[in-house]
Chains A and B, each alone.
Chain A
Amino acid sequence: METLGIWIAAIGTIAILSFLYKENPIYRTVEHIFVGVSAGIGLYWGYDSIRQNAWNPLFNPAEGESRQLLMLIPLILGILLYSRFMENYKWVSRIPLGFIIGIGSALAIRGVIGASFMDQIIATMRMPLWGTMVKFGFDSLLFVVGVIGTLIYFFFSTEQKGALKYGASIGKWTMMIAFGTAFGNTVMSRVSLLIGRVYFLLGEWLQII
């Protein structure tokens, strides 16, 4: 069974890589199979999640546990989402959507403002520019100047001339360096993916390495 799986994966890999030569039916077929299998697995896990978290507690509770009747509410709200497909009743789907957006916003406000906003500002404010009298915190200074420059770049309330123009220019260069780093990392990531596939083809499939 394992050998069959390796062969299927190897043929699938070669078929997908054949796109590099040119667009072809084999690539298209395997691409569709991949998307279909992914969707199938997702559907299974979605079903399993509803079964475990709503259906079982309501209709099939474990020994010694009572039925959780409150589970009816999320179940009904979930079903109401599908009213979207009925022209006359699609307004009903806005009720569960409202809950989803409300819960999402509540969680975001609670977590995002603290961790992804305030903590970042505080960390930059606390950055020691001069670690000791001997060791000058050059990288910290670059960081702080970069942050201030980038903020100035996005400051549109007044015309960018004089000091603001220089600040915006620093911001522009800081962002270009950051995008360059991100692009370099992206190339590294893609190369790693190719290494993984070549490693699989040469190792697990052909057993050369």
Chain B
Amino acid sequence: MKWLKKLQTIDSKIIYLVLFFAIALPLIFPIGIPVEINAGTRTFYDTIDNLPKGSVILISYDWDAASAPELLPQATAITKHALTNGHKIVALGLWYAGPTFADRVHNAVAAEVEGKEYGVDFVNLGYRPGGAVVLNSMARDFHQTFPEDVNRTRLSEIPLMKEVKDINDIDLIIDLSAGDPGYRAYIEQIGSQYNVPILVGCTAVSVSGITPYLQSGNVGALLGGLRAAAEYELLIDTPGLGLGGMDAQSVAHLTIIAFIIVGNIAYIATKKKK
């Protein structure tokens, strides 16, 4: 059968094109597929919600442009939730692109949450190379590890950082991680030695690697990929890229599944003929 053979040799360009439309069309014409809140996302949300007002949260931006579509919506939603609840944020990056995204998130969110001021409610310490070494040093002394913030202001002159000297002044660590250095460095260098809870937001591809740490209690809660970002946006009632992308995500997955099924049916049918 000619058409069965043709189905097995579809040009990859056609598959790419179909996938592109499967993503673009639901973005232009949203379907509104319902998103259910996962227990992990709920725990993540509740942890921030239950912190006393004025708590200091350290958010580590350990990712670059390649992971931005998944982690940027997570960072935006978490930052908005934390600032709205009156918490303070200390942002830094173990990846050099991280602080750039921190700035982008702060600029976008601070405009939405009234009365939030750089240096008082949130601060961006920038990037330091070294991964585990940086965390080990930072846990003992923030001011020596990061003498200046990204604007080259000395930490001793920043009101928020006057209260934050070492890791004991941090109430919660949130690591937005796309690889190494990232969540493992935080768990091994800080979580295992200091009494600070760690939550992790990660790309979907990293979820299986982090799950054992969740089960052992090293990680308090986990946000995985765009889906978790969408759930978080739903929880804080602020639709963004996460929720916007969920229709496209679902349709794209259905398209991929359809291609796999069609390819397999054609393969089995031709095999039987032989």
Contacts and interface: CB of A to CB of B under 8 A. Distances in A.
Interface of A: 20-21, 38, 41-42, 45-46, 48-49, 52-53, 56-57, 62, 103-104, 107-108, 110-112, 114-116, 119-120, 122-123, 178, 181-182, 185-189, 191-199, 202-203, 208-209
B192 A114 contact: yes
A20 B12 CA distance: 9
B203, B206, B224: most-surrounded residue (chain A CB, <10 A) = B203
B44 to A, nearest CB: 18
Interface in B115-129: 126-129
Contacts of A116: 184, 187-188, 213
B203 A199 contact: no
A199 B244 contact: yes
B167 interface: no
Contacts of A114: 188, 192
A191 B66 contact: no
Contacts of B253: 187-188, 191
Interface of B: 12-13, 16, 19-20, 23-24, 27-28, 64, 66-70, 72, 96-97, 100, 126-129, 132-133, 136, 145-148, 154, 156, 184-185, 187-189, 191-193, 203-208, 212-213, 215-218, 224-227, 241, 244-245, 248-249, 252-253, 256
A196 B69 CA distance: 5
B241 A123 contact: no
B32 to A, nearest CB: 14
Contacts, number: 157
Given A52-B147, A122-B216, A189 B133 contact: no
Given A45-B129, A193-B66, A199-B27, A120 B147 contact: no
B234 to A, nearest CB: 17
Given A103-B133, A114-B192, A187-B256, A48 B16 contact: no
A185 B218 CA distance: 22
A123 B216 contact: yes
Nearest to A114: B192
11 contacts: A62-B156, A104-B133, A110-B189, A122-B216, A188-B226, A188-B253, A195-B252, A198-B27, A202-B28, A203-B27, A209-B28
A192 B245 contact: yes
Given A45-B129, A116-B187, A202-B28, A192 B249 contact: yes
A145 to B, nearest CB: 15
Contacts of A194: 19-20, 23, 252
A182 B205 contact: yes
Given A192-B70, A197-B69, A112 B218 contact: no
B225 A189 contact: yes
Of all A-B residue pairs in the complex, the 9 with the closest CB atoms, nearest first, are A196-B69, A111-B188, A123-B216, A189-B205, A115-B192, A189-B204, A192-B226, A188-B204, A45-B96
Nearest to A106: B136
Contacts of B136: 107
A108 B181 CA distance: 13
Contacts of B27: 195, 198-199, 202-203, 209
Contacts of A107: 132-133, 136, 188-189
Contact of B13 (A21, A56, A208): A21
A189 B205 CA distance: 6
B189 A111 contact: yes
Contacts of A57: 147
Given A57-B147, A193-B66, A193-B67, 14 more contacts: A45-B126, A52-B147, A110-B188, A119-B217, A123-B217, A178-B208, A186-B205, A192-B245, A194-B19, A196-B70, A198-B27, A198-B248, A208-B28, A209-B27
